[in-house]
Amino acid sequence: MKKAGALALTLALILSLFGCKSKPKAKSQTGVYFDTVVTLITYEEDAPKECFTLCEKYDKLFSATDKDSDIYKLNHAVGQPVTVDSETAAVINTALGYCKASGGALDITLRAVSELWNFKTESPKLPKKDALKDALSTVGYEKVQLNGNTVTLPKGTKLDLGCIAKGYVADKIKEIYEKHHLSGIINLGGNVLTVGKKPDGNPFSVGIKEPFSENDYVATLRISGGSVVTSGVYERCFELDGQRYHHLLDPKTGYPVENGLDSVTVLAESSAEADALSTALFCMGKAAALDYVNGKKGVYAVFLGTDASLTVSKGLTLSNGVITVDES
C-alpha cells in the first residue's frame, strides 16, 4: 500500500551541504530495511548503531511478508486472536485512528486487494473481477478488533502497515538523534524527517519530485525540523493497453484512485502522521483533502495535479518554486 521499492525514493534531498567547504561536514550511512533504502545523515559524528538496530527490530515486527512478523501471523491466523508486541498494537491503533478520521480513504485492511496487483512484473495483468470482488469483501478497517495487545481479524482480512510504519520508525530514530544531541536527516525510502538545522543555521531543503523524472523537482520545501512524506502515482505503476495503473488503490473499488492528482506531499512534526496522511489525503482528493488539512494545526500539504499545477494548504507560501511555512 505504500510508497517505494528499495531504490525508488519518493523524495530526493537537495544536499548542497555535501559540497560546502564549511565544517562540520555531513556524514551519510545507509542500510536496506522495509524493502527500501534507509539513509541517515548527521554532522561530525556517525549516527548511533542503535538506529539501524531499531530498523531491524521494526522490520521484523511490521513486515507483511516475513513469516515471523506480527503482521504476517495476524494475516494468517484465519480469524483467531493473536497477541502482538505492544508497539505493533500501538501502531495498529494509531493507523485505525487515521482510517476513521479520513472516512475510510485510508484503510489498513486493503492487503488482500493489493496482493492481486503486481507492479513489479514485466508482464502486468489486471486482477480478475471475481477475485477482486472477493478481496474487496474482506476490506474495512472497522473489522479490526483490538483489545490491548490482542488483535482479531475476520477470516480473509489482511493488514498492511505500509502507510505508517516507516514514519513510526523515523520518529523513533529521531528520539535517538535527540538523545545524542545530533542534527541531520532521517530518510526512509523518501519518508524524510529533519532534526534541527544545518550547522550554518539554515533550514533544510527537500525537493518534491517531478513525476517520472529521476532528478527533477517541481518545488523545494524549506524546513527546520519536521517530516516530509509524498505519496505519488509514479512510485509503483505499470502501463497496459495505453492506461497507467498505480499502487494507490481506492478501498471502495480496488482500482487505482483517479482524481486528477499526481502526488500529495505532507509536512508535519510527526513522521508517522505525515506518512499516514500523505496516502489518506491523496485518496480523499484535493477538495476534501484541503478541507481536512486546513483544519489541522501544524499539518500542511502540497498537491501536484496531473496538469502540473501546484496547490498548497493554509500556512504554506509558494514563491518561485520554493515553499516555506508561514512564520505567523
The secondary structure element, H or E, covering residue 238 is: strand 237-240
Indicate if the alpha-carbon torsion angle 173, 174, 175, 179 is positive or negative. Answer: positive
Stronger pLDDT, 21 or 294, i.e. the higher one = 294
The set of cell numbers assigned to 143 is 473489522
Residue 185's pLDDT is 96
pLDDT band at 6, cuts 50/70/90? very low
Taking all residues of the chain, what is their mean pLDDT, rounded to a whole number? 91
- Residue 312 has a pLDDT of 97
Q: Please write the tens of the pLDDT for every residue from 92-144.
A: 999 999 999 999 999 999 999 999 999 888 889 999 999 999 999 999 999 99
Please state the rounded mean pLDDT for residues 76-89: 97
> How far is 273 from 283, CA to CA, in rounded Å?
15
> Assign residue 143 a region: left if phi > 0, alpha if psi is -120 to 50, beta otherwise?
alpha
- pLDDT tens figures, 281-309: 999 999 999 999 999 999 999 999 999 99
Q: Is the pTM of this model over 0.75?
A: yes
Contact call for residues 61 and 72 (beta carbons, < 8 A): no
Instruction: Please check whether residue 41 is in contact with residue 185, taking contact to mean a CB–CB distance below 8 angstroms.
Output: yes
Q: Determine which helix (DSSP H) or strand (DSSP E) holds 277, and give its type and residue range.
A: helix 271-284
Which amino acid, residue 203? P
Task: Cell 523524472: give the residue.
Answer: 213
**The pLDDT of residue 14 is above 50:** no
CATH 3.40.190.170 fits domain 11-325: no
Domain residue ranges in the chain: 11-325
Rounded Cα gap, residues 82 and 152, in angstroms: 6
Using only the alpha carbons of the chain, give its radius of gyration: 19
